[in-house]
């Protein structure tokens, strides 16, 4: 077997005929500034070609179900091994997907309960909330159910006679409302908020044999009292929704709230499954435990039959703990995990697998990880390698780079200024080299000594979201504040409380930009409108012609630049449109030029080139915002769907700059940034503060922490062991603090 994966003449995206040998069975880290071409080599060339060749080995009826890949632009790609990409894309998934189901640990626990629990509910599916034999019948295993929103239905400050029941069909004065105002068991003049528990229970559920006198057009009669809750459920919840009028449905919906399922109390399982115990705990109790605690519980099982099963679960759970996710619980829905947490969980799954001879590809696995946990992540990567796999990692973190057997540094710049391999060798050789990465690795930053003075303060008071323990903390305004702490310590939870409490907060996150597939930086920044007007003014044609969503678009590909042909029984073929050659516009439109450039030429310009080309002030201002966030290497026409999470966050930021008196909240804005780019980002944050704004960042990057004016450190650890403010003060004060992991690592980092 050849010892190298070989790329010859790779030209995907900005790559300039890259020729490269990557050692097999080794850990190779790809470095370089953002936009230099790392992803183009690793994802767009190696991973795509590996997958494409693999797909070709399947029969057509399987191939038809697989995603389609075009052959990457390269002269040759040789000796690839099957690639597995472990990326940051949110794990997402429906609400039936939990940490337990995703990692398969829950299925092991199910077997444990069915064989060893008492009384046993049957085979292992009887403990599955995704199987009819195990799921709670009230909520179908979702753990949540919709029920009446009592806070909305009842006004606690009013009495029954005075309109306490706000749900119109049961309100005072209506026919049904008489049940409550006339009941001899209820005081009609007492505010319902002051009812005793027994009175409230009677209002909602009544009591067998209780009567009430009501009157209607047919006279007056005595009838059985029906509790408010019983009546609401009978008339609106236990009925087929489609049998109600739209108006009724809309009305009822206003008075509903989603809450924990009352039947299973969120445990998702039916009574039989929940009755089974091991050591006094039900399977739901186990799923709710923090993983570190569950490990302790399972270790105590020493029965000869159950012991080995528990041992298998412990082994899997220890892998989760080893990558710093021990603060999660098995019942945590995967849709609520951050991108970094999801990526690390996917890694765990692969670690348990016995495949060897694969190529594992990771996209910045250190995202969301505190420096304390980067070492553990490194161990995992090395274990994957030692099982006989090739591990390729795109990474900026110096601690991960240091672990590599081999480093490929891309550059020298971004976009058209990048696309070449500027260095290959060991991390030691890289650190001694004259590349930008090498120089950055040698530098030792200093903490900010002259911190800015706060102009005021904003508070979060008594915060209890997730693991926060009644946190009250001050955020100074008019300065740059870094919120730090190990993963799971409560940073996002605290920042969520902060944004919820302060309306003026401008949150710039990494979530996708929910716009059409044809969006580009030019349309997103609002530059395209002006460009069209300039073309119309200079050429005398109609502005609408210069839009690829309009009549000016190439009719063959409808402005997409590509054509996808569906063939029966074969892969659809995606080809560049032969008519416009991928340029998206009609020939007549392409002939209309401004200073020698057509609108398609403009879309192929990088933002940097466009800045030189356009004199228009509005265009200039918007493109300079892109420069401020370090994205001028993007072309005006690059589909936004191709941007990374970090790039998305920064392009959003570009459209929200130039405010004053705003409060910016950013979650790990250094994601995807090379050490050299981080300096630019810190400069941008500084400018935001200096023009009268407040900036709050959740960050692990020690460069940013060192340059902050104020640090709020959460901890001491993650999950149950976190949720407290362990330090607040300046970076200089943090350096002199004990009992903070962040302080420990900052001391190691700065000079
Ligand atoms: P890195 O991973 O080093 O940040 P990339 O390989 O993602 O860099 O990008 C290299 C260059 O290719 C950049 O100029 C980027 O804008 C461009 N690029 C990346 N993906 C695409 C794409 N799908 N279409 C067009 N250009 C792209
Ligand atoms: P950090 O941002 O420091 O990584 P988080 O605020 O995300 O920490 O998490 C703090 C704690 O709250 C952890 O124990 C985490 O598992 C828990 N948590 C976070 N989000 C949710 C959620 N949506 N549902 C349940 N628990 C959550
Ligand atoms: Zn239920
Ligand atoms: Zn076309």
Query: For tokens 């850990």, what's the residue?
Result: 27
Nearest ligand to the CA of 409 is: 1
Q: Which atom of ligand 1 is nearest to the CA of 419?
A: 10
Q: Check pocket membership of 632 for ligand 1, CB cut-off 6 A.
A: no
Q: Which atom of ligand 2 is nearest to the CA of 327?
A: 14
- The SS3 call for residue 562 is strand
Under 8 Å between Cβ of 355 and 378: no
Q: Which atom of ligand 1 is nearest to the CA of 416?
A: 14
What pLDDT, on a 0 to 100 scale, did the predictor assign at position 638? 87
Whether this prediction's pTM lies above 0.90 is answered by no
Nearest ligand to the CA of 558 is: 4
| C-alpha of residue 204 to centroid of ligand 4, in Å | 66
Q: Is 634 left (phi over 0), alpha (psi -120 to 50) or beta?
A: beta
Kindly state the tokens that stand for 448. Answer: 């900010």
Nearest ligand to the CA of 579 is: 4
Nearest ligand to the CA of 139 is: 3
Q: Which atom of ligand 1 is nearest to the CA of 644?
A: 7
Smallest CA separation from ligand 1 atom 17, residue: 13
> Average pLDDT for consecutive 10-residue bins of the chain (751 residues)?
91 96 97 92 93 81 66 94 82 80 92 91 89 91 88 92 94 92 94 93 94 87 94 86 83 87 91 94 96 96 90 93 90 85 82 85 88 86 92 95 97 92 98 96 91 96 95 97 94 94 85 68 91 94 87 86 60 70 90 95 94 93 90 88 80 86 92 88 93 95 96 94 96 94 93 69
Pairing of strands 471-477, 480-484: unpaired
Smallest CA separation from ligand 2 atom 22, residue: 336
> Which of 293, 493, 666 maximizes ligand 2 atoms within 8 Å of its Cβ, making it the mutation to test the pocket?
493
**99-143+264-322 has which CATH code?**
1.20.1580.10
Nearest ligand to the CA of 140 is: 3
> Which of 323, 332, 466, 468 maximizes ligand 2 atoms within 8 Å of its Cβ, making it the mutation to test the pocket?
466
| C-alpha of residue 377 to centroid of ligand 4, in Å | 46
Q: Which atom of ligand 2 is nearest to the CA of 485?
A: 3
Q: Which atom of ligand 2 is nearest to the CA of 466?
A: 12
Smallest CA separation from ligand 1 atom 24, residue: 638
Nearest ligand to the CA of 552 is: 4
99-143+264-322 against 521-640: fold identical: yes
Q: Which atom of ligand 2 is nearest to the CA of 368?
A: 4
Residue 493 CB contacts under 8 Å (≥ 6 apart), including other chains: 463, 465, 466, 467, 468, 723
| C-alpha of residue 145 to centroid of ligand 3, in Å | 7
Q: Which atom of ligand 1 is nearest to the CA of 32?
A: 3
| C-alpha of residue 627 to centroid of ligand 1, in Å | 16
Smallest CA separation from ligand 1 atom 27, residue: 13
The span from the CA of 166 to the CA of 256, in Å, is 13
Length of the chain as a residue count: 751
| C-alpha of residue 135 to centroid of ligand 3, in Å | 8
Q: Which atom of ligand 2 is nearest to the CA of 332?
A: 25
Q: Which CATH class is domain 145-260?
A: mainly alpha
Q: Check pocket membership of 423 for ligand 1, CB cut-off 6 A.
A: no
- CA-nearest of 696, 691, 697, 621 to 660 is 691
DSSP string, 655-674: HT-S-SS-EEEEE-TTTT--
First to last CA, the chain: 46
Smallest CA separation from ligand 1 atom 18, residue: 13
| C-alpha of residue 14 to centroid of ligand 1, in Å | 7
Q: Which atom of ligand 2 is nearest to the CA of 328?
A: 16
| C-alpha of residue 385 to centroid of ligand 2, in Å | 31
Under 8 Å between Cβ of 428 and 27: no
Task: Name all residues whose Cβ lies below 6 A of ligand 2.
Answer: 327-328, 332, 336, 466-467, 485, 487-493, 719
Q: Check pocket membership of 50 for ligand 1, CB cut-off 6 A.
A: no
Q: Check pocket membership of 645 for ligand 1, CB cut-off 6 A.
A: no
Kindly state the tokens that stand for 628. Answer: 């401020």
Q: Which atom of ligand 2 is nearest to the CA of 489?
A: 3
Q: Which residues of 229-260 are buried (b: 16+ CB within 10 A; e: fewer)?
A: bebbeebbeeeeeeeeeeeeeeebeebbeeee
- Would you state the CATH architecture of domain 4-90+337-442? 3-Layer(aba) Sandwich (3.40)
| C-alpha of residue 289 to centroid of ligand 2, in Å | 14
**Residue 159: Cβ within 10 Å count:** 20
Nearest ligand to the CA of 466 is: 2
Local structure of residue 719 (DSSP, 8 states): G
| C-alpha of residue 419 to centroid of ligand 1, in Å | 9
Kindly state the tokens that stand for 207. Answer: 């009591």
| C-alpha of residue 266 to centroid of ligand 3, in Å | 6
Pick the CATH number of 521-640 from 3.40.190.10, 2.40.50.140, 1.20.1580.10, 1.10.760.10: 1.20.1580.10
Kindly state the tokens that stand for 710. Answer: 């104020």
| C-alpha of residue 37 to centroid of ligand 1, in Å | 6
Q: Check pocket membership of 40 for ligand 1, CB cut-off 6 A.
A: yes
Topology of domain 456-504+661-749, CATH? Rossmann fold (3.40.50)
- Would you tell me the crossing angle of helices 617-628 and 527-539 to the nearest 10 degrees? 150
- CA-nearest of 718, 699, 743 to 321 is 718
> Which of 37, 436, 605, 636 maximizes ligand 1 atoms within 8 Å of its Cβ, making it the mutation to test the pocket?
37
Smallest CA separation from ligand 2 atom 19, residue: 466
Q: Check pocket membership of 38 for ligand 1, CB cut-off 6 A.
A: yes
Smallest CA separation from ligand 2 atom 12, residue: 466
Local structure of residue 403 (DSSP, 8 states): T
| C-alpha of residue 603 to centroid of ligand 1, in Å | 15
Nearest ligand to the CA of 144 is: 3
Q: Which atom of ligand 2 is nearest to the CA of 338?
A: 7
Under 8 Å between Cβ of 395 and 366: yes
ipTM over 0.85: yes
Domain ranges of the chain: 4-90+337-442, 99-143+264-322, 145-260, 456-504+661-749, 521-640
Smallest CA separation from ligand 1 atom 10, residue: 37
What pLDDT, on a 0 to 100 scale, did the predictor assign at position 611? 95
Q: Check pocket membership of 638 for ligand 1, CB cut-off 6 A.
A: yes
Local structure of residue 486 (DSSP, 8 states): S
Q: Which atom of ligand 2 is nearest to the CA of 493?
A: 6
| C-alpha of residue 98 to centroid of ligand 2, in Å | 14
* DSSP element (H, E) containing 136: none
Kindly state the tokens that stand for 350. Answer: 């692969």
| C-alpha of residue 516 to centroid of ligand 4, in Å | 18
Nearest ligand to the CA of 560 is: 4
List alpha helices for 233-338, DSSP H: 246-254, 271-275, 283-288, 291-299, 306-322
Kindly state the tokens that stand for 490. Answer: 């409560």
Rounded to an integer, what is the distance from CA 591 to the centroid of its chain?
44
**In the chain, helix, strand, coil percent, each to 5?**
40, 20, 40
| C-alpha of residue 665 to centroid of ligand 2, in Å | 18
């Amino acid at each position: 077997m050849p010892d190298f994966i070989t790329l010859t003449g790779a030209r995907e995206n900005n790559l300039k005929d890259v020729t490269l040998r990557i050692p097999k069975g080794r850990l190779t880290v790809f470095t370089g500034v953002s936009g230099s071409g790392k992803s183009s080599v690793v994802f767009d060339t190696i991973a795509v070609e590996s997958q494409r060749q693999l797909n070709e080995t399947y029969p057509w009826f399987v191939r038809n179900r697989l995603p389609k890949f075009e052959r990457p632009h390269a002269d040759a790609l040789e000796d690839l091994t099957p690639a597995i990409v472990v990326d940051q894309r949110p794990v997402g998934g429906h609400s039936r997907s939990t940490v337990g189901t995703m990692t398969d640990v829950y299925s092991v626990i199910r077997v444990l309960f069915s064989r060893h629990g008492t009384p046993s509910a049957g085979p292992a599916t009887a403990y599955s909330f995704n199987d009819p034999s195990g799921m709670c019948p009230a909520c179908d295993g979702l753990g949540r159910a919709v029920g009446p929103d009592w806070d909305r239905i009842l006004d606690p400050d009013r009495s029954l006679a005075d309109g306490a029941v706000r749900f119109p069909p049961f309100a005072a004065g209506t026919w049904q409302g008489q049940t409550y105002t006339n009941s001899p068991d209820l005081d009609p003049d007492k505010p319902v908020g002051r009812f005793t528990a027994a009175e409230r229970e009677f209002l909602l559920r009544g009591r067998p044999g209780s009567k009430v006198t009501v009157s209607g057009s047919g006279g007056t009669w005595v009838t059985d009292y029906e509790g408010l809750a019983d009546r609401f459920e009978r008339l609106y919840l236990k009925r087929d929704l489609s049998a109600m009028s739209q108006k009724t449905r809309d009305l009822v919906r206003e008075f509903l709230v989603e809450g924990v399922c009352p039947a299973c109390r969120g445990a998702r399982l039916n009574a039989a499954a929940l009755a089974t115990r091991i050591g006094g705990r039900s399977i739901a109790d186990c799923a709710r435990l923090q993983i570190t605690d569950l490990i302790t519980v399972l270790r105590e099982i020493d029965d000869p039959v159950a012991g080995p099963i528990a041992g298998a679960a412990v082994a899997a759970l220890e892998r989760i703990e080893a990558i710093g996710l021990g603060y999660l619980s098995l019942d945590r829905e995967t849709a609520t995990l951050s991108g970094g947490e999801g990526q690390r969980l996917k890694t765990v799954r692969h670690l348990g697998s016995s495949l060897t001879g694969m190529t594992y590809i990771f996209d910045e696995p250190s995202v969301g990880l505190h420096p304390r946990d980067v070492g553990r992540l490194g161990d995992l990567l090395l274990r994957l390698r030692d099982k006989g796999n090739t591990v390729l990692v795109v990474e900026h973190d110096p601690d991960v780079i240091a672990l590599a057997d081999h480093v490929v540094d891309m550059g020298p710049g971004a976009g058209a200024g990048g696309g070449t391999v500027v260095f290959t060798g060991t991390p030691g050789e890289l650190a001694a080299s004259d590349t930008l990465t090498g120089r950055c690795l040698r530098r030792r930053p200093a903490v900010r000594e002259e911190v800015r003075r706060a102009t005021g303060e904003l508070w979060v008071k008594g915060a209890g979201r997730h693991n926060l323990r009644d946190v009250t903390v001050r955020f100074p305004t008019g300065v740059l504040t870094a919120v730090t702490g190990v993963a799971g310590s409560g940073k996002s939870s605290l920042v969520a409380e902060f944004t919820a409490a302060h309306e003026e907060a401008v949150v710039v996150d990494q979530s996708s930009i929910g716009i059409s597939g044809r969006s580009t930086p030019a349309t997103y920044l609002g530059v395209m409108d002006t460009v069209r007007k300039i073309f119309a003014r200079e050429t005398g044609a109609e502005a609408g012609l210069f839009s690829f969503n309009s009549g000016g678009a190439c009719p063959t590909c409808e402005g997409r630049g590509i054509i996808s042909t569906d063939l029966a029984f074969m892969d659809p073929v995606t080809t560049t449109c032969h008519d416009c050659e991928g340029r998206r516009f009609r020939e007549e439109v392409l002939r209309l030029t401004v200073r020698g450039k057509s609108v398609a030429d403009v879309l192929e310009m990088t933002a940097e080139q466009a800045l030189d080309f356009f004199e228009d002030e509005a265009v200039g201002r918007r493109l300079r915002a892109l420069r401020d966030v370090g994205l001028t290497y993007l072309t005006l026409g690059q589909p936004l769907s191709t941007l990374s999470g970090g790039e998305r966050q920064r392009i959003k930021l570009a459209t929200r700059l130039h405010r004053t008196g705003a409060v910016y909240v950013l979650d790990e804005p250094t994601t995807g940034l090379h050490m050299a780019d981080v300096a630019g980002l810190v400069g941008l944050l500084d400018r935001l503060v200096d023009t009268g704004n407040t900036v709050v960042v959740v960050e692990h990057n020690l460069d940013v922490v060192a340059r902050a004016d104020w640090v709020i450190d959460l901890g001491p650890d993650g999950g149950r062991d976190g949720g407290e403010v362990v330090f607040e003060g300046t970076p200089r004060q943090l350096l002199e603090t004990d009992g903070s992991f962040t302080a420990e690592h900052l001391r190691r980092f700065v000079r």
